Structure 1
Amino acid sequence: MDNHKYPAKFVNFRPSDFQKGKVPSPVPGVAKWEYNHRKAIIQHITNLKHQLQEIYESYVPVVRKTLKHHDSSYPIVIYMKKLAKSHRPDGILKCLDSEVIAVHALGKLVVGMTEDSLAKFIQLINDLIQEIPITRDEWVTQKLDKSGTWRDAIVPGKERDFEWIHELTSIDYVKEYSPNEVLEAMSSHDMQDCKTDGEFKIRFFQYDNDTDHIVRNQFNQIFNLYESDIRPLSYASGFSSYVVPFVNEETIHQMAAFPGVESITSFTRFRVNSSAIAESRTFLEAIQPEVGKSYPKVAIVDSGIGKDNNHISPWVEERDIYVPFNRQDNYHGEFVGGLLLYAHHANPTLKNIVDTGVKILDVVVLPAESLESIREDELIDALDTALEKYAKEYRVWNLSLGSSRLCSGVISEFTASIDILQDTYNVNFVIAAGNFVELRQAGPVTSEDENDRICLPADSIRAITVGSIALNHDDTNLVKQGEAAPYSRRGPGIGLSIKPDVVHYSGNPRNFPIQSINSNGAIVEDYGTSFSAPLVSAIMAEYYEQYPEQLSKTMAKALLIHGSKHPLTNKCIELASDHYYYGFGLPSRIQDVLYGNEHEITLVFEGKLNAKQNRNWVQISDFPFPESLKVGENKIRGEILVTLVYEPHVNPRLGSEYCRGNVDIRLRTLFEDGKYGTISKGSSAGEINQAERWEKSQMTKELKWSPSKQLSFISPQGKRGSTDLRLDLFPTWRDITDKQPIPFAIIVTIRDPKKSAPVYTDVSRSLLKAFQTNDLNLRYTPTRITNKSR
């Protein structure tokens, strides 16, 4: 139960908390080879050589006829066995004057290579085969480092060859980029959309300005296109994407075979998706907003709310209409709006919802399902226009819409634009994860059908993506109350990021739909992730309304995630298999996040890592930990939950490596031997066994590259440690060019699960000694809005 006498505290960073020096990192050892013996190494890299020769002899002559330039670059795919950048063939590519031009699925690198660089690559392998030692150990010696410690080192003179063998043995295989990959996202339905639209999207690989110009000119000549025929895609920032007129399906397949084309896709369409199960004879009385009272605000981007809807229209402050009235069907938009206002009355058992009223911006973009859909370019234009007018007043935008295009290893132009809009206008989009139409036939925990992955735009890295859990159940239902609904699309998102971010309740397909109201105030029933999203939008809007200071979108997301728990266990979610169905869990209202009790306190930090300002990394020494949770001389007990949310620089062209920065967070304690060690577990597990430091392991166990992380310390009885704690924040970047400022927010809750220690008082006293803080008292106490059934 929250208590306003125990508010969370905003803790200001001290100048000494930001560190100027080099970001701490493990001392790099000598690279491991995938194969340690000469015979296995030769067999593997000989196979690679044969694959390169096949490309050189069969693929290159064909594409040379198309591009007609000897020094043209061709897209070559390198599949890696491991994902870490340290395993990439960067040294070899540098020698070949080649570079990675795209990253698709995890470990799938697309490299631009010329005919000469391919020949040089083959010769490099031939030369290297002659130098390979009997075993790797022949080229490894020992030397003293600066600290006087003996470490493995490469035998002098063998450094280059040693690294090249490491890189080659890390490659799985090599092939040319095929037309099938260009058309990977094109189904027969998408092909029909191209025909209907009379145009489609084509994305070219990006090499350098001169090469790109040659490729596009040659493309236009071959397909008889004038500059007026092929126009740049206006919202495709970071891509070389164009709109091309549709001629016929055969021409699309010919274009897919053109070297330099990365993808061909139809324009993604968004439609109203709802079941409209039943309308009851139960009516709710309309509730009117109180004059002069302040309410949370949500922009609903949907099918609209009718002006004659006496139950919802009084709460609509503004309307921004992009669909003519004669092409509207307001059912879906009114169901969403009804959940913002009447969910607690229509669903008496519904928990963790805002029941105090919400003011609405009605952005009408979705036409009637029976008439048409909205295309992605039209939706982007509408959003951009509406955001320009209303973003300062409405910080939360609910998008209960979805598409049939699944999240993959490639970032779409649409998703990249969605992220740009959120950054440009400083808003949070709350997006439905999408519905798996076929419904799962087995329990969601064991279902691994790739066809039920989240779909566009739920893969937006900046947005809050919402999945669904069942509100109720009986023996006829596949899942029980609180379990992931059988239609709720799952993660992971791009690059194994956590998606959905959170979940909320919606209907169970058989017998237990969620209830809202229609235009007459009658209770109607439905189910879908469309109806979980507005419940989360209301919670986030209440954060903006009630937070005592100006709330950033980074902090809003951090608060949402920090207050989220597994809907079945009410504990933090740690397993990747659970994250991909539940995200970080079911979120809480702001008073449950920021108000504690005498045995619990929450601390809030916000800042920005910026190397140009010598804010390279963070170490908060003398971190406030209560003496009352000390057990003897060398033990501490209690619970600590830490949530980190940050906004890394992104590069949409690099697909599964879209997020270009990672921030690792560690909670460490001083042990009796005088050394600091990690005591936390969760998304940042601390020091990992070197044999397990594979990138995929880090991405699933530590959420590496994921912009939201949690870690925890849980020990009711006590574990080895002391009250001398440090909180560390370590950034890393994929490339030096990605070293951009990173805004971040940290939420820390310290509690005594036994409810005996005076945690709030102890930590408050410690803060007074070393930190400047402010109490985060909510602006006012929310009042539940009420009505009567008739």
Structure 2
Amino acid sequence: MAHSEFPIINFAARSQDNGKTPGGGDDKKKVKWLLEKTALQERSEHLVSELKKLEAKWDNTKIDGLPHVLKVDFIENALANTHQRGIAPMFIVGDNTGQIGFIGQTSLIIKIDSQEKLKTIQENLADTKKNAKQISALTAINFFDPDVKPANEELSYKLRPLNFGDKTLNERAVQVIKDALTSKNIEHELVYYSKELPAFKLNMVTTDSLKFVRTLPIRSAEPMEEVSDPFRLLNDLNINYDEKLVHYDVSANYPVVGLLDTGVNINSLTQQWVTRGKGCQYSNNQLNTAHGTYIATLLIHGDSLSDTNDSSVKGCKIVDVPVIPESSIDGAVLANNIRIAVESNPKVRVWNLSVSLKGEVNPDEFSDFAIALDDIQEKNNIIICKSAGNDQKFYQKSEAGSLSIGAESIRSITVGSLNRNSDPFNYSKANFPAPYSRKGPAPATLVKPDLTHFGGDLFALNSAPSSKNDFQEVSDTATPDGFEYIHKVGTSFSTPKVAKNLAELDLLTKHKYLPRTIKALAVHSGKYYETPALSAKQRLDTMGYGKPDNAAETIFGSLYSSTMVLEGAIKKGTRLDIMEFPYPDVLIRDGHFTGKVKVTLLYDPVLMANQGTEYCQSNLDIKFGTYDKKMNATDYMRQFNPIKRDGSFNTLLQSHFGKNKIKKNPDYATERTLINYGQKYHPVKKYVFDLSELRDSYLDSLKADHHWFLFLEGHYRLFAEKDALQKQENLNTPFTLIVTIDDPEQQAHVYTSTIQALDANNFSHNSIKIDNSIYLSNQG
């Protein structure tokens, strides 16, 4: 059981733990897909022929003041960063040429400003001796054709200008589009999701105008995303309920959550708790506060009204900044409303956004709205909890669809919904994903949602439900107006529970942790409770990393476990290699290390718009395990790192664990997230394993005479490296690493042994200071 005497341990890396990265992979290494002889020559001739066709059309496709834009396709086997390092330079011929974007999974967007340079590229592709690998990787070269989706008469239309990677050219592209639309009398408005993300909003489009916009310097054209009505999923259900409220104590400390919603009605349940924040763009008579009031009531009184223990602290202060008026708005307006709200209330560190945009995420592209949310969080150092979205397909016995637009935001904590209870017909099963909760993954197969919580149960009233009338909402209790108590279900109501959890973590730790670390703690604590267990993929797609523990359970450990937190940053060209990781030696039994281990790595990646699935431009590679002994490095490697590990064994590799042993350990199913190594360019990585499940053939690596190590190294995509070089900036990846080591037998004094190991190896460390003045509602 968690106890306040055993809080989280913060530790810092030592100077000897920092090293240098020797360099990238071997691009000259022969690959299986390399074409030879006739096949290589035919591919070369095909690519040169395509370039000659483009040369013939050059003058007819020219836009004054802008370079031409090409789409270059390559094979999936060449997707790795090492291969792209050879492909992209083929198209760099002096200034104003080269990659400006990425589209889909396997296409580069290239700019080139003259026919002479096009001929030079032809020469490169004709040289089969020098460029065999690059020629083998490429499949097609064409003029870039924007993705133009059909119009929707009910929605406005959006044009996204091409980003040329140059301020002057970008301004020129915007002006060209503006002038062209004006010349055709097409009504338009220039809007911004962020400073780097302009878009043109068109109120009406026709078939002819869609043909016309294809000729403009745009990346895509599509219907403008609009905000979903936040309170239309299910009908209200009136209930009788005796008020059981939390009373505000002016001398107490409460968690603080910023509410980005429809606004909150100030009534007997919300007064004193709710403050209208700065930055609201609407007057009160422009608001319908039902949705926001319901969420505020959940945050403040939810546990008391529903007799639950979803939070650690009863009550919650709310900074209310309405961002949604009663009338409809689009994604660009919403993004700017959120930006103004966050910037106007800088003391708020955790924000709740239970608002969805109509439509589903594009598997090959991150939305403008998601990119805007990431930009807001990065620039203001805050956390946004974003709902995964609701889907009514369950009425037709279908599974919920993909995440709503914006829920793929990388820096946000995206939240799905769980069932709290089961119905008599097992349509809704306790601790399983709620049938209305939208699912991941996000583009580039990133894990989304990140977490789940109870969002209200939807019970079937018969064995074959097929319409709304066949379901009943059996959920938490709250009120949209301060008078009528109702049940509501949706990810709108699981999301604020996670937001409050994060705000409680921030409060209990006296705001000493970075927002990134607060997020990492919540992810680290996530667990699964469904029985029988879903597959690993089903879990990740529907529940992310699970339901987080209450804040107090997250930061308090026990005598039989220890949780260590490391905050830091990895600069390009450096690595972190801790060769004396403080694994507690009290977990040595019968000559071998034992224990349950949980490792969570969360880092702030370099994000770059217009890069398609390569939006995330940086990766941290992690290894954690044992080694036999230290050795002097070779002469070449000594200039980077004088000492190396011999006999290293990475415990994070899935192949090291036996499937039959895992099956025999069902009690650990709630904890086990995944034992899967890799997840390149995934900014959240989590590994949970029991050393007793290691294959017999690897048990020697756990012998008591072995040492433990932790290794982190940063990698960057070529586009990010070139951008940083051009801007004369140093690439850097801030991270938070959390490691929990637990004795499955609950006998060894792990916490004390960890402290002793930290001291013995000269680590600077301290236990997190907890604000003991806060009343924890669910602690004994």
Is the pair's TM-score, using the shorter chain for normalization, greater than 0.5? yes
Residues 99-143 of structure 1, C-alpha deviations (whole Å, 9 max, x = no match): 222112222322224555555555554553xxxxxxxxxxxxxxx
- The answer (yes or no) to whether the contact 1:404–1:455 under 8 Å persists in 2 is yes
| Equivalence for 2:742 | 751
- The answer (yes or no) to whether the contact 1:680–1:712 under 8 Å persists in 2 is no
Identity of aligned residues (%): 22
| Equivalence for 1:193 | 155
Map 1:317-716 to 2 at 5 A. 317-320=275-278, 321-348=280-307, 350=308, 352-368=310-326, 372-392=327-347, 394-408=348-362, 409-439=364-394, 452-476=401-425, 478-509=427-458, 510-518=471-479, 519-548=481-510, 550-568=512-530, 575-611=536-572, 616-633=574-591, 635-671=592-628, 675-681=646-652, 701-716=677-692
Structure 1: runs of 5+ lacking an equivalent = 129-157, 687-697
**Which amino acid counterpart does residue 376 of structure 1 have in structure 2?**
G
| Equivalence for 2:771 | 779
For residues 313 and 121 of structure 1, the distance between their equivalents in structure 2, rounded to whole angstroms, comes to 68
Are residue 75 (structure 1) and residue 59 (structure 2) matched? no
**Which amino acid counterpart does residue 469 of structure 1 have in structure 2?**
L
- The answer (yes or no) to whether the contact 1:470–1:485 under 8 Å persists in 2 is yes
For residues 381 and 247 of structure 1, the distance between their equivalents in structure 2, rounded to whole angstroms, comes to 23
> Residue 537 and residue 774 in structure 1: after superposition, are their counterparts in 2 closer, same or farther (change >3 A)?
same
Match of 2:256 among 277, 293, 297: 297
- The answer (yes or no) to whether the contact 1:238–1:651 under 8 Å persists in 2 is no
> Residue 90 and residue 204 in structure 1: after superposition, are their counterparts in 2 closer, same or farther (change >3 A)?
closer
**Which amino acid counterpart does residue 378 of structure 1 have in structure 2?**
V
For residues 676 and 110 of structure 2, the distance between their equivalents in structure 1, rounded to whole angstroms, comes to 27
For residues 713 and 112 of structure 1, the distance between their equivalents in structure 2, rounded to whole angstroms, comes to 47
> Residue 81 and residue 251 in structure 1: after superposition, are their counterparts in 2 closer, same or farther (change >3 A)?
same
For residues 37 and 465 of structure 1, the distance between their equivalents in structure 2, rounded to whole angstroms, comes to 47
> Residue 27 and residue 43 in structure 1: after superposition, are their counterparts in 2 closer, same or farther (change >3 A)?
closer
For residues 655 and 111 of structure 2, the distance between their equivalents in structure 1, rounded to whole angstroms, comes to 35
For residues 406 and 739 of structure 2, the distance between their equivalents in structure 1, rounded to whole angstroms, comes to 31
For residues 379 and 123 of structure 2, the distance between their equivalents in structure 1, rounded to whole angstroms, comes to 49
Are residue 260 (structure 1) and residue 234 (structure 2) matched? no
- The answer (yes or no) to whether the contact 1:651–1:658 under 8 Å persists in 2 is yes
> Residue 658 and residue 758 in structure 1: after superposition, are their counterparts in 2 closer, same or farther (change >3 A)?
same
Match of 2:236 among 277, 280, 287: 277
For residues 395 and 711 of structure 2, the distance between their equivalents in structure 1, rounded to whole angstroms, comes to 42
For residues 622 and 555 of structure 1, the distance between their equivalents in structure 2, rounded to whole angstroms, comes to 23
Aligned length: 710
- The answer (yes or no) to whether the contact 2:70–2:141 under 8 Å persists in 1 is no
Residues 185-220 of structure 1, C-alpha deviations (whole Å, 9 max, x = no match): xx543x5422xxxx7444224164665566556555
> Residue 252 and residue 169 in structure 1: after superposition, are their counterparts in 2 closer, same or farther (change >3 A)?
same
- The answer (yes or no) to whether the contact 2:69–2:109 under 8 Å persists in 1 is no
- The answer (yes or no) to whether the contact 2:71–2:110 under 8 Å persists in 1 is yes
For residues 532 and 247 of structure 1, the distance between their equivalents in structure 2, rounded to whole angstroms, comes to 37
> Residue 125 and residue 699 in structure 1: after superposition, are their counterparts in 2 closer, same or farther (change >3 A)?
farther
**Which amino acid counterpart does residue 710 of structure 2 have in structure 1?**
L
Are residue 12 (structure 1) and residue 8 (structure 2) matched? no
**Aligned residues: CA RMSD:** 3.5
- The answer (yes or no) to whether the contact 2:587–2:593 under 8 Å persists in 1 is yes
**Which amino acid counterpart does residue 109 of structure 1 have in structure 2?**
L
Following superposition, the deviation at residue 426 of structure 1 comes to 1.5
For residues 212 and 324 of structure 1, the distance between their equivalents in structure 2, rounded to whole angstroms, comes to 36
- The answer (yes or no) to whether the contact 1:488–1:529 under 8 Å persists in 2 is yes
For residues 604 and 298 of structure 2, the distance between their equivalents in structure 1, rounded to whole angstroms, comes to 30
- The answer (yes or no) to whether the contact 1:574–1:683 under 8 Å persists in 2 is no
Following superposition, the deviation at residue 541 of structure 1 comes to 0.4
For residues 777 and 424 of structure 1, the distance between their equivalents in structure 2, rounded to whole angstroms, comes to 28
Query: Secondary structure at 2:263's aligned position in 1?
Result: coil
| Equivalence for 2:132 | 165
For residues 127 and 699 of structure 1, the distance between their equivalents in structure 2, rounded to whole angstroms, comes to 45
For residues 70 and 119 of structure 1, the distance between their equivalents in structure 2, rounded to whole angstroms, comes to 20
| TM superposition score normalised by structure 1 | 0.81
Match of 2:247 among 288, 312, 318: 288
Query: Secondary structure at 2:437's aligned position in 1?
Result: coil
> Residue 165 and residue 575 in structure 1: after superposition, are their counterparts in 2 closer, same or farther (change >3 A)?
farther
- The answer (yes or no) to whether the contact 2:44–2:126 under 8 Å persists in 1 is no
Following superposition, the deviation at residue 479 of structure 1 comes to 4.2
- The answer (yes or no) to whether the contact 1:23–1:617 under 8 Å persists in 2 is no
For residues 532 and 648 of structure 2, the distance between their equivalents in structure 1, rounded to whole angstroms, comes to 29
Farther-moved stretch of structure 1 (314-323 vs 276-285): 314-323
| Equivalence for 2:669 | none
> Residue 24 and residue 754 in structure 1: after superposition, are their counterparts in 2 closer, same or farther (change >3 A)?
farther
**Which amino acid counterpart does residue 767 of structure 2 have in structure 1?**
D
For residues 547 and 415 of structure 1, the distance between their equivalents in structure 2, rounded to whole angstroms, comes to 29
For residues 356 and 301 of structure 1, the distance between their equivalents in structure 2, rounded to whole angstroms, comes to 21
Farther-moved stretch of structure 1 (742-751 vs 478-487): 478-487
Query: Secondary structure at 1:381's aligned position in 2?
Result: helix
For residues 684 and 418 of structure 1, the distance between their equivalents in structure 2, rounded to whole angstroms, comes to 37
For residues 699 and 597 of structure 1, the distance between their equivalents in structure 2, rounded to whole angstroms, comes to 24
Residues 532-552 of structure 1, C-alpha deviations (whole Å, 9 max, x = no match): 100101100001100145121
> Residue 498 and residue 717 in structure 1: after superposition, are their counterparts in 2 closer, same or farther (change >3 A)?
closer
**Which amino acid counterpart does residue 687 of structure 2 have in structure 1?**
L
| Equivalence for 1:695 | none
Residues 145-185 of structure 1, C-alpha deviations (whole Å, 9 max, x = no match): xxxxxxxxxxxxx5xx2xx2222322344444335x1x24x
Are residue 30 (structure 1) and residue 23 (structure 2) matched? no
> Residue 211 and residue 303 in structure 1: after superposition, are their counterparts in 2 closer, same or farther (change >3 A)?
closer
For residues 278 and 762 of structure 1, the distance between their equivalents in structure 2, rounded to whole angstroms, comes to 55
Structure 2: runs of 5+ lacking an equivalent = 459-470, 631-644, 658-673, 725-729
Query: Secondary structure at 2:759's aligned position in 1?
Result: helix
| Equivalence for 1:145 | none
Farther-moved stretch of structure 1 (78-87 vs 204-213): 204-213
| Equivalence for 2:661 | none
For residues 386 and 760 of structure 1, the distance between their equivalents in structure 2, rounded to whole angstroms, comes to 43
For residues 356 and 682 of structure 1, the distance between their equivalents in structure 2, rounded to whole angstroms, comes to 42
Residues 255-308 of structure 1, C-alpha deviations (whole Å, 9 max, x = no match): 43215211224543224323243121224233321121000011111112212x
| Equivalence for 2:731 | 740
Following superposition, the deviation at residue 781 of structure 1 comes to 6.5
> Residue 443 and residue 4 in structure 1: after superposition, are their counterparts in 2 closer, same or farther (change >3 A)?
farther
**Which amino acid counterpart does residue 82 of structure 2 have in structure 1?**
S
**Which amino acid counterpart does residue 580 of structure 1 have in structure 2?**
D
For residues 601 and 215 of structure 2, the distance between their equivalents in structure 1, rounded to whole angstroms, comes to 44
For residues 16 and 123 of structure 1, the distance between their equivalents in structure 2, rounded to whole angstroms, comes to 49
For residues 372 and 189 of structure 2, the distance between their equivalents in structure 1, rounded to whole angstroms, comes to 18
| Equivalence for 1:112 | 111
For residues 493 and 48 of structure 1, the distance between their equivalents in structure 2, rounded to whole angstroms, comes to 33
- The answer (yes or no) to whether the contact 1:283–1:522 under 8 Å persists in 2 is no
